[in-house]
Structure 1
Amino acid sequence: MLSYSDSPSGTDPRARDLHRPGVLLLAGAAIAILLSGCAPESTDLTEVGGDYITGTGTITEIPRAERGAPIAFSGELDTGGTASSDDWLGSVVVVNFWYAACPPCRAEAPDLESLNQQFLPDGVVFIGVDVRDQAATAGAFSDTFGITYPSILDAGAGEVQLAFAGQIAPNAVPTTIVLDREGRVASRIIGQIPDRSVLETLIEDVIGEEG
């Protein structure tokens, strides 16, 4: 059984790696895209650019008793209006940091939407955080890949990224974070989701926690 080691700087030292039987961790490196290497914004989703750095993907779970404080965040949505983490307290929340010209973000988009649909009956909330684009580009991405959940537009002040930085430092895109019902970081995947079943299991673990 393969596992991913947790080594990025600035991350929570209490976190432990995920290497539990029944979770398939595929061989090979996931692609981590540093924010400094973002491509120029474009609504043409057939063109991809930027300086991409290949790194080892990291999957981490934080034991319930060792999680940090709830993370509060909010922002304008690509679909119009605003959203706030206060709206989702009591629900499991999956937060995906992405941008349109990021190849791994494009590759994992179908899995994210599939899991969004799967967990709708359980009340799980999926929310994207677009770290690079304006509404038109984000909307074009959603239309191309059939994404039905909204994204917060965080390209300006980066307030959502700052809200998470003290606990999980999402300095690579994509990064996917599962928040528990109290709004605390329960698990994360840095880099492209290596397999749909990995995120599925992380979500199921938090759903199964007793209140």
Structure 2
Amino acid sequence: MKNRFATALAGAVATALVVSGCAPTEGDRLADEFRSGTGQGYISGDGAYTIVAPEDRQSPVSFQGVLDTGEPFDSDDLAGQVYVVNFWYASCPPCRVEAPDLQALSEEFAPQGVPFIGINIRDRAAQSLAFAEEFGITYPSIIDIESGAARLAFAGQVAPNAVPTTLVVDAQGRVAARISGLLTEPSTLRAMITDTLAESG
């Protein structure tokens, strides 16, 4: 699995280099408004979080898709690992705000074998890769715009009802925690991951 993610990362970097787009965009303007609290054109979750006790977790989630690098992805390849899923799209203001924190946490937990995977619900691969280049995102994203299959796989599993939504999945493939909306405090997600790792330690 590590080789697969390394290959995906290499492809993402190589492809992103030919994708233009570091100039300020409408998404950047909306993100600035979102930070300052003056934007009126976006409704997201409120950052509330849910912790699901192990005995209350539902069935393991299985989902597949095609990464923005063009490679296939299957969550079964992550069996036995705690991992993080983030639902997002490039012009979503809070997604842009939280991107650096998610990247930093992905780097922090990489040595502990915790992969991060994005599920892009609205963009094509080129937009997803341009976003990755702009914000230095090194983990891959599934492009879910056509079928919505990856999103549907989580229906009823502390469902991602807002964008962004971030989920922590336990080593058995069950949703252990959810942040609905902007990740306002990286320490919250850090604690969720750490606690979920400790369950299987």
Q: State the TM-score, normalizing by the size of structure 2.
A: 0.80
How far the C-alpha of 1:66 sits from its partner, in A, is 1.0
3-state SS, counterpart of residue 81 of structure 2: coil
**Percent identity of equivalent pairs:** 53
Task: Please say if 1:77 is aligned against 2:56.
Answer: no
The match for 1:172 among 148, 162, 184 is 162
Match of 1:193 in 2: 183
Counterpart of 1:150? 140
Per-residue CA deviation, residues 171-207 of structure 1 (Å, 9 max, x unaligned), is 2100000000010000000000011111001000001
For residues 175 and 123 of structure 2, the distance between their equivalents in structure 1, rounded to whole angstroms, comes to 25
Distance 1:182 1:192, change over 3 A: same
Q: Could you tell me which residue of structure 1 aligns to residue 199 of structure 2?
A: 209
Counterpart of 2:26 in structure 1: which amino acid? E
Report if the CA contact (8 A) 1:94-1:124 is conserved: yes
Amino acid at match of 2:165: T
Aligned to 1:129: 119
Q: Is 1:114 matched with 2:104?
A: yes
Deviation at 1:54, TM superposition (A): 5.2
Aligned residue for 1:171, secondary structure, equals coil
**Correspondence 1:46 to 2:36:** no
Compared CA separation, residues 45 and 162, structure 1 to 2 (3 A): farther
2:16 aligned partner? none
CA contact (8 A) 1:95 1:176 kept: yes
Deviation at 1:210, TM superposition (A): 3.2
Letter of the 1:91 partner, please give it: Q
Q: What's the secondary structure of 1:187's corresponding residue?
A: strand
Separation of aligned partners in 2, 1:210 and 1:56: 30
Q: By percentage of residues, which structure has more helix?
A: 2
User: What is the CA–CA distance in structure 2 between the aligned matches of 1:192 and 1:45, rounded to whole Å?
Assistant: 21
Residue identity in the other structure for 1:146: G
- Go from structure 1 to structure 2 and tell me whether the alpha carbon gap of 1:58 and 1:66 turns closer, same or farther (over 3 Å shift): same
RMSD over aligned Cα atoms: 1.6
Q: Could you list the runs of 5+ residues in structure 2 that have no partner in the other structure?
A: 1-20, 31-39
How many residues were matched structurally? 169
Instruction: Answer yes or no: is the 8 Å Cα contact 1:98–1:105 preserved in 2.
Output: yes
Are 2:84 and 1:97 equivalent residues in the alignment? no
* In structure 2, C-alpha distance between the alignment counterparts of 1:109 and 1:93, rounded to whole Å: 17
* One-letter identity of the residue aligned with 1:76: V
1:116-162 CA-partner distances (Å, limit 9, x unpaired): 11111100010000000000000000000000000000011100111
Q: Is the 8 A contact 1:172 1:191 kept in 2?
A: yes
**Aligned residue type for 2:103:** E
CA separation in 1, counterparts of 2:92 and 2:111?
30
TM-score (norm 1): 0.76
State whether residues 45 and 101 of structure 1, in contact with CA within 8 Å, keep that contact through their aligned partners in structure 2.
Answer: no
